[in-house]
Amino acid sequence: MKRQLYVTSKSLKSGTRLIGILSEENGKYEFEYKLGGFVQEWFLVIKEFPNVSIKYRGSEVERFIERIIPSKDAPYLDKMLENANVIEYDTWELLKAFGKKNKKEDAYLYEVLPEGTLMYEQL
């Protein structure tokens, strides 16, 4: 079964915007921009995914994921998992938990788009 998270960008000027979809199926991850015909703005492009016209798979997606979730050898990992209500180290569950709190990145991940999110193309 394919699972997906909506990747959004936030700015004080324009609010929350959908910029792409991160999906997982059978342990393989993909990212694809959902910008439609919108002319990209600098803050919408994620550094691991510089080309808005292609679907990303493999190591580029893994590097993006590694920036969001704690590593398996992180100090206090048990406490982080407990605070995130995650029972065991599971990449997908950690993405859901930590993707919304990702203050150091421009991208935020949601299972359901927040109300008022601007979209460039219909899903």
Sign of CA dihedral 2, 49, 61, 54: positive
What single-letter amino acid sits at 4? Q
pTM, 2 dp:
0.83
pLDDT at position 123, please?
67
Whether 36 maps to a domain, the answer reads yes
**Domain encompassing residue 56:** 3-110
Whether 122 maps to a domain, the answer reads no
pLDDT at position 23, please?
94
CB 91 within 8 A of CB 97: no
Indicate the pLDDT class of residue 99, thresholds 50, 70 and 90. confident
Q: Please say if the pLDDT value at position 21 is more than 90.
A: yes
Q: pLDDT (tens digit, 9 = 90+) per residue, 30-77? A: 999 988 666 555 456 788 888 888 999 998 899 889 888 888 888 888
In the DSSP assignment, the letter for residue 97 is H
Whether 123 maps to a domain, the answer reads no
Strand, helix or coil for residue 42:
helix
Whether 25 maps to a domain, the answer reads yes
